[in-house]
Amino acid sequence: MANIFIVEDDESINELIRRNLILVGHNCIQAYDGKEALTLFQHNSFDLILLDVMLPSISGFELLPDFVNTPVIFITAKGSNIDKIRGLTSGAEDYIVKPFDILELIARINIVLRRNFKESSIFIHNNVTVDFHAHTVFSDGRAIYLTPKEFDLLEILIHNRNIALSREKLLELAWGYDYPGDTRTVDVHIQRLRKKLAWEDIIKTVYKMGYRLGVTK
């Protein structure tokens, strides 16, 4: 749940990013050109900035020094390695290329937030509190015991909340690429989570897609 600044001149893409970030619980402010970006930056404090490299009349690289004390992730349409390297060595935290996968963007944002200690470590929904640092889950004040894998899965669902994740994706994220088992283990774990947290309505099954933790604000 961070304050994220989206600086992207293409309206539809800017909007697309905003919607996705809101889904997973971030707050977003949007700017469409360099001037607007600088003005808004003065009047707000952000946890992270998504900065398009190709803005009208100025490049993202040139704006970078003005965004002091805030981690920046560059967005660009260019896929060339030179630009990637330039992007990373110029002082940005990370670099993502259009068209990007939304899950990837969310994951990278989380990593950068974590690195800069801006990640929220607590998640609360109704009467359930999840502490990511302490690895504890409380429901109505009562401690709930989860196995490490169950906790991992829960964490992933929370970080990608409101987004449908496929079984394969969940398996990959929680169990790793090399896991030899199949996706049934995901189903089993989901069942257990639902039961333990009484979240049958929250952790929804999405037709043909997978599972979604649905906690709209």
Partner 1 sequence: MKFWQKMYLSVLLLFLVVFNIFILSFANSVYQKNLDSIRILVNRDFSSFKSSFQKDMKELKTRRSLSDELVFVLFNSYANISRKQDVFLELQKNTHPLFSNLPFSSEHILVRFHDDSQKAVIYRNDNMNYYCIRSSLSEPFSEYTLVYIFPLTELESYFDQLAGKSLFAALSLSFLLALVLFFLSKGLTAPLLKLAKASQIIASGNYSQKLTITGNDEFAEVSRHFNNMAVEIEKKIALLQEENIKKQLLIDSMAHELNTPLTSIQGYAQYMLIAESDEQERYEALTYILKESKRLSLLGEQLRLLLETRNMELLYEKVNLLELLHTVIQMLHFQLEEKQITLTAPSRSAYFCCDITLITSLFRNIIENAIHACQYGGNILINFEHTNERLVIQIKDDGQGISEEDLEHITEPFYRIDKARSRSEGGCGLGLSLCKQIVQRHHGTLSFLSEKGNGTTVCLLFTTSLQLS
Q: Which of residues 82-141 bind partner 1 (CB under 8 A)?
A: 98-103
# binding residues, partner 1 (CB under 8 A): 31
203 forms bridges with which residues in the sheet? 213
C-beta of 194: minimal distance to partner 1 in Å? 17
Question: What part of residues 45-74 is at the interface with partner 1 (CB under 8 A)?
Answer: 54, 56
Nearer to partner 1, 107 or 164 (CB): 164
Q: Tell me how far, at minimum, the Cβ of 141 lies from partner 1, in Å.
A: 30
Both structure tokens of 71: 């981690």
Q: How far apart are CA 173 and CA 119, in angstroms?
A: 19
The radius of gyration computed from the CA coordinates of the chain, to the nearest angstrom, equals: 19
Q: Which of residues 5-44 bind partner 1 (CB under 8 A)?
A: 9-13, 15-16, 19-20, 23, 32-33
Residues facing 4 on adjacent strands: 28, 48
216 lines the binding site for partner 1 (CB under 8 A)? yes
Give φ, ψ of 99 to 5 degrees.
Answer: -75, 140
Q: What's the length of the chain?
A: 217
> Looking at 120-128, 174-182, 183-191, 207-215, which segment touches partner 1 (CB under 8 A)?
207-215
Helix (H, G, I), strand (E, B) or coil at 40: helix
Q: What is the rounded distance in angstroms from the CA atom of residue 30 to the CA atom of residue 118?
A: 20
User: Which listed range, 82-90, 122-130, 131-139, 156-164, lies at the site for partner 1 (CB under 8 A)?
Assistant: 156-164
Rule CB under 8 A: choose which of 88, 122, 124, 209 binds partner 1. 209
Among 27, 59, 162, 185, binds partner 1 (CB under 8 A): 162
How many angstroms separate the Cα of 127 from the Cα of each of 6, 139, 197? 32, 6, 10
Q: Distance of alpha carbon 66 from its chain centroid, rounded?
A: 24
- Residue numbers of the site for partner 1 (CB under 8 A)? 9-13, 15-16, 19-20, 23, 32-33, 54, 56, 77-78, 98-103, 162-165, 204, 209, 212, 214, 216
